[in-house]
């Protein structure tokens, strides 16, 4: 009974991992970093003259809009952002840490290129979902001048999407509490049973965490 259950949980865990970005906070920060790059590339622009109509006296009617507060600026900043995320991939720092990096030359990558390209598609798809959830609010904040260099990650990842909110960190801590000694061992449970039980609990927690991250 235990073996089939572990097998099913393992399959479910694998499917969950492939269905979404494991660490949404890190992925969101990568998207925010790319948006920071686009902000840094902006050049001064003239105001937008929307006075296209003439009144009875021949005077032009309409508004002159500051480009920095215009919807056009928001569109230009966000348009193509997710396509640019295809230049990113997940790099392994050590046995337990990875980070999203921008690749300037795919030919010099030391990691498996097929795997690297798969990660780039993953984060590009994640970016699409992220903007779908936040674009309206993000556009309004850009128009209000509330999205500035150095603040994008806070606005996008903490306030709008909440992918870096404290709630997720607390959830992870609840799913993976750190104990110095095994509770089962303290009750003199035979070691083989302890090992299987711990494996079952670990896989269950991984499944729950994946469901939480994909929510």
Q: 75-109 pLDDT, tens per residue?
A: 999 999 999 999 999 988 887 788 999 999 998 88
| CA atoms of 29 and 157, how far apart (whole Å) | 7
Q: Where are the domains of the chain?
A: 2-214
Highest mean pLDDT among 26-35, 91-100, 108-117, 195-204: 26-35
The answer to whether the CB of 213 falls within 8 A of the CB of 15 is no
Q: Strand 98-102 vs strand 53-54: parallel, antiparallel, or unpaired? A: unpaired
Work out the average pLDDT over 168-182. Answer: 42
Q: Which two tokens stand for residue 24?
A: 């949404």
| CA atoms of 189 and 172, how far apart (whole Å) | 27
**Residue 32 above 80 pLDDT?**
yes
pLDDT for res 18: 39
Integer-rounded Cα radius of gyration of the chain? 24
Q: Which two tokens stand for residue 40?
A: 């840094």
| CA atoms of 75 and 139, how far apart (whole Å) | 8
Question: Residue 154 — very low, low, confident or very high, per pLDDT cuts 50/70/90?
Answer: very high
Question: Residue 185 — very low, low, confident or very high, per pLDDT cuts 50/70/90?
Answer: very low
Closest CA to 73 of 153, 132, 147: 147
Which residues, in sequence order, are CB contacts of 135 under 8 Å at separation 6+? Answer: 78
The answer to whether the CB of 129 falls within 8 A of the CB of 21 is no
pLDDT tens digit sequence for 193-202: 455 556 656 5
> How many residues in the chain?
215
pLDDT for res 39: 95
Rounded percentage of the chain residues whose pLDDT exceeds 90: 44
**Residue 15 above 80 pLDDT?**
no
Greater pLDDT, 23 or 177: 23
């Amino acid at each position: 009974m235990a073996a089939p259950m572990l097998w099913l949980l393992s399959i479910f865990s694998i499917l969950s991992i492939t269905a979404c970005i494991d660490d949404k906070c890190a992925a969101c920060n990568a998207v925010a970093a790319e948006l920071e790059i686009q902000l840094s590339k902006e050049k001064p622009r003239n105001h937008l003259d929307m006075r296209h109509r003439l009144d009875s006296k021949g005077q032009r009617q309409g508004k002159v809009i500051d480009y920095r507060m215009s919807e056009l600026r928001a569109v230009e900043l966000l348009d193509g952002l997710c396509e640019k995320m295809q230049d990113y991939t997940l790099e392994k720092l050590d046995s337990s840490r990875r980070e999203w990096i921008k690749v300037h030359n795919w030919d010099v990558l030391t990691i498996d290129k097929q795997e690297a390209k798969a990660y780039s598609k993953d984060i590009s798809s994640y970016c699409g979902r992220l903007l779908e959830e936040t674009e309206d609010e993000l556009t309004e904040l850009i128009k209000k001048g509330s999205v500035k260099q150095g603040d994008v990650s806070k606005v996008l990842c903490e306030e709008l999407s909440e992918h870096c909110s404290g709630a997720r960190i607390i959830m992870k801590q609840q799913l993976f509490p750190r104990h110095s000694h095994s509770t089962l061992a303290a009750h003199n449970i035979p070691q083989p049973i302890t090992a299987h039980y711990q494996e079952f609990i670990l896989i269950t927690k991984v499944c729950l965490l994946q469901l939480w991250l994909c929510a």
